[in-house]
C-alpha cells in the first residue's frame, strides 16, 4: 500500500495507474476508521482495479466550538486496517497540502446545505463540497464511495456531481450498525458507558416511525412529534426528526413513495445522526 502525503505523490501514483489502464475508486474519510469504513473499501474493491482512501480531518467543515481539535486521529491503526483491506493507496495530506493559506474558493450546494444538519452547522456542507471537489480533482476517480449514514452529505455530493458534470459514479453504501442497532460512527467514542446504552434508541425511534408509516399512517407531523417526545423522554436533546422525500429531502407528501427519515439528536455533548430509507 502506498502512503501518499503530498499532492505531487498522489498525482504521480494516479498517473502510473492510468497509464496501465486501471480503473480507480476513491473512499474519502476523516480517519478513526471502523467497520463501516472497511465496508466502503470492500465495495470499492469490487468496482475498481485500484482503491485510494483519503484520511483528512477537514477543518473547513467544522464550525466554531465544534470538535476539530479533539476529533480522534488514529493514523497508525487506520493504516493497518487499510493494508489488511488491500487498499492500494492512502492519501494523508496536511492542511497546507490541501489549502493554500489565502485560499478563498468555496463550493456550495445551497439548495441542500441550509437544512437539517446544515441549519445548526452553518458552512459545514460548504466545507464538505469544497474538499470533495478537491479530492475528485486530485484523484480523478471513476467511482467514489460514501456511507448512507450521512444521508444529507450523500445528497449534497450527488447534486455536486450532477451540477458540475464530474465524470464520477457515486455509490452509497448501507449503514453498518452495532449489534444493538447503533450506527457506527467515529464520534461514538465520545459516549459515556451509560449514554452508550441509551444511544440505540435513536435507531429504534426511526424504525418505529417507519413501521407507523408502512402501516398506513400519513400524518407526518404527528409521527415526527411522537418521535421527538420519545427521544426527549429517553434523555436526548432532539435537533430534528423529519420524514422526507428521498430524492431531494423535501418534506414528504402523502403521494411520495421513496422516503427517508432523517434524525439528529444530542446525547450529553455527543451529536448523533441516523436515518432509515424505505419505499411504501
- Is CATH 3.30.1300.10 the classification given to domain 186-275? yes
Q: How far apart are CA 222 and CA 219, in angstroms?
A: 5
**Predicted confidence band of residue 30 (pLDDT cuts 50, 70, 90):** very high
pLDDT average, residue stretch 128-146: 98
Domain positions in the chain: 2-173, 186-275
Say if CB 78 and CB 31 are below 8 A apart: yes
Q: What is the pLDDT of residue 218?
A: 80
| Helices 151-164, 124-139: crossing angle, 10 deg rounding | 50
Q: Three-state DSSP class for 258? A: strand
Q: pLDDT tens digit string along 107-117? A: 999 999 999 99
Q: What is the pLDDT of residue 217?
A: 86
Strands 258-267 and 237-245 turn out to be: antiparallel
139-165 as b/e, with b when 16 or more CB fall inside 10 Å?
Answer: bbbbbbbbbbbbbbbbbbbbbbbeeee
Give Cα separations from 91 to 44, 56, 87, 226, 260 (angstroms).
16, 8, 11, 44, 33
Say if CB 159 and CB 109 are below 8 A apart: yes
pLDDT of 133 above 90: yes
Give Cα separations from 117 to 4, 48, 120, 241 (angstroms).
32, 32, 6, 11
pLDDT average, residue stretch 7-31: 98
Beta strands in the chain (DSSP E): 2-4, 24-29, 50-55, 89-91, 143-147, 169-173, 237-245, 258-267, 270-279
Non-local CB neighbours of 18 within 8 Å, separated by 6+ positions: 24, 140
Strands 50-55 and 89-91 turn out to be: parallel
Q: pLDDT tens digit string along 182-216? A: 999 999 999 999 999 999 999 999 999 999 999 99
What are the DSSP calls for 52-95, one per residue? EEEE---GGG--TTSSTTTS---HHHHHHHHHHTT-SEEE---H
Q: pLDDT tens digit string along 80-112? A: 999 999 999 999 999 999 999 999 999 999 999
Q: How far apart are CA 11 and CA 23, in angstroms?
A: 15
Q: How far apart are CA 168 and CA 147, in angstroms?
A: 16
Of 34, 37, 124, 171, the catalytic one is 37
The grid coordinates of residue 167 equal 465524470
| Helices 35-45, 75-84: crossing angle, 10 deg rounding | 40
Write out the CATH class of domain 2-173: alpha beta
Q: pLDDT tens digit string along 148-191? A: 999 999 999 999 999 999 999 999 999 999 999 999 999 999 99
pLDDT of 4 above 90: yes
Q: How far apart are CA 220 and CA 60, in angstroms?
A: 35
Q: pLDDT tens digit string along 226-279? A: 999 999 999 999 999 999 999 999 999 999 999 999 999 999 999 999 999 999
Q: What is the pLDDT of residue 214?
A: 96
Known catalytic residue at 37:
yes
Amino acid at each position: 500500500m502506498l502512503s501518499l502525503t503530498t499532492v505531487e505523490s498522489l498525482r504521480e501514483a494516479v498517473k502510473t495507474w492510468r497509464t496501465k489502464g486501471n480503473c480507480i475508486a476513491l473512499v474519502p474519510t476523516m480517519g478513526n476508521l471502523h467497520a463501516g469504513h472497511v465496508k466502503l473499501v470492500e465495495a470499492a474493491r469490487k468496482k475498481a482495479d485500484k482503491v485510494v482512501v483519503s484520511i483528512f480531518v477537514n477543518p473547513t467543515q467544522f464550525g466554531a466550538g465544534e470538535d476539530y481539535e479533539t476529533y480522534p486521529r488514529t493514523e497508525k491503526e487506520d493504516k493497518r486496517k487499510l493494508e489488511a483491506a488491500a487498499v492500494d493507496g492512502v492519501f494523508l495530506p496536511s492542511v497546507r497540502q490541501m489549502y493554500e493559506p489565502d485560499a478563498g474558493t468555496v463550493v456550495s450546494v445551497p439548495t441542500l446545505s441550509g437544512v437539517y444538519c446544515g441549519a445548526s452547522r452553518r458552512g459545514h456542507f460548504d466545507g464538505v463540497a469544497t474538499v470533495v471537489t478537491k479530492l475528485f480533482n486530485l484523484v480523478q476517480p471513476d467511482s467514489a464511495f460514501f456511507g448512507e449514514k450521512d444521508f444529507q452529505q450523500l445528497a449534497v455530493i450527488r447534486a455536486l456531481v450532477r451540477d458540475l458534470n464530474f465524470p464520477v459514479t457515486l455509490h452509497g453504501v448501507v449503514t453498518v450498525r452495532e449489534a444493538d442497532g447503533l450506527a457506527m460512527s467515529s464520534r461514538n467514542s465520545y459516549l459515556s458507558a451509560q449514554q452508550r446504552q441509551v444511544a440505540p434508541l435513536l435507531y429504534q425511534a426511526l424504525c418505529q416511525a417507519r413501521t407507523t408509516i408502512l402501516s398506513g399512517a400519513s400524518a407526518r407531523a404527528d409521527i415526527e412529534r411522537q418521535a421527538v417526545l420519545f427521544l426527549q423522554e429517553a434523555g436526548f436533546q432532539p435537533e430534528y426528526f423529519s420524514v422526507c422525500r428521498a430524492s431531494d429531502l423535501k418534506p414528504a407528501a402523502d403521494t411520495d413513495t421513496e422516503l427517508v427519515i432523517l434524525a439528529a439528536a444530542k446525547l450529553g455533548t455527543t451529536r448523533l445522526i441516523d436515518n432509515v430509507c424505505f419505499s411504501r
